[in-house]
Amino acid sequence: INIAAPAALGAIGKHASDNNLNAGGVASMLASQKDNILSALPSGLGLASALGLGSLGDIGNKFTGAIGDVTRNAKKGMGWLLPLLIGVVAIGLLIYFMRGCGSDVNDKDTNTAITPVVTDTPTVSTASIKVKLPDGTELDALKGGIEDELVTFLNDAGSKAGKDVWFDFDNLNFETGSANITAESQTQVKNIAAILKSFPKVKIKIGGYTDKTGDAATNKKLSQSRAEAVVAALKAAGINLSQLQGAEGYGSEFAKAAADAPEEERKKDRRVSVSVREK
């Protein structure tokens, strides 16, 4: 009680100061919030009735009157009741104001804008384009996809082929844990075959890569099988065998993301690439 009463009065004082209220304003505020204050009092004890607060229209004035009544009763031998009732009412007021403050804080937190994090990770555009080959063939591809970049490179007389020149398939997938190319991926395999046919001097090597999760030896074996599967698919598409300089699986040797990195990072390490060795 000794703690609650000063705290409640302090809360009322702060509210009055923040809102520039005089005594009349405080009384009006209490009157307008009568139901909320009464609901904060402990139920079942009849405290609102004992204080004459149950049916008030002006809680500010009647609160003063209630305390006065209790004071008079105290003079008749009920001195112990005065601090008890004052404390209970103070606790009710304190709970009310604490709820109000909590509501304000929650509202502010809810309305706080969250700025999204923007990354610079490059992605292949979803814009569809037509990639035109020297023989007049047009391929359906994506802007910035392997077909677009590979043909641009091959058409550039200043570009040099070499073992460090790689282009990643961006629409080539395998069945989970296997080297079986999915049906949806056959379109891109056929596009690469068409490019090689249109540039007969070009020679390539296929490389397979995995992320760092799992057993390194198993990953290397899987990457080798997948690279060989792509070579086999290109051969089946009628590519001149002299244009294919083999397949090699590198496993997780060149993986950049840690084994426990998020999936979005690790999936970039799982790929099959084309290395242009001659053009």
In tens, the pLDDT along 181-211 reads 999 999 999 999 999 999 999 999 999 999 9
Greater confidence (97 vs 263) lies with: 263
CATH of 128-278, one of 3.30.1330.60, 3.90.1150.10, 3.30.565.10, 3.30.70.100: 3.30.1330.60
Compute the C-alpha angle 160/165/170, nearest 5°: 130
Most confident of 23-27, 47-51, 79-83, 131-135: 131-135
131 and 113 in contact (C-beta within 8 Å)? Answer: no
| Span 150-187, pLDDT tens digits | 999 999 999 999 999 999 999 999 999 899 999 999 99
| Span 106-153, pLDDT tens digits | 444 444 443 333 323 334 557 999 999 999 999 999 999 999 999 999
88 and 40 in contact (C-beta within 8 Å)? Answer: no
Q: What count of other Cβ atoms lies within 10 Å of the Cβ of residue 174?
A: 19
pTM equals: 0.56
- Beta-strand ranges (E) seen in 156-233 are 166-168, 203-209
Query: What local confidence, expressed as pLDDT, does residue 62 receive?
Result: 47
Q: Where in the chain is the domain with CATH 3.30.1330.60?
A: 128-278
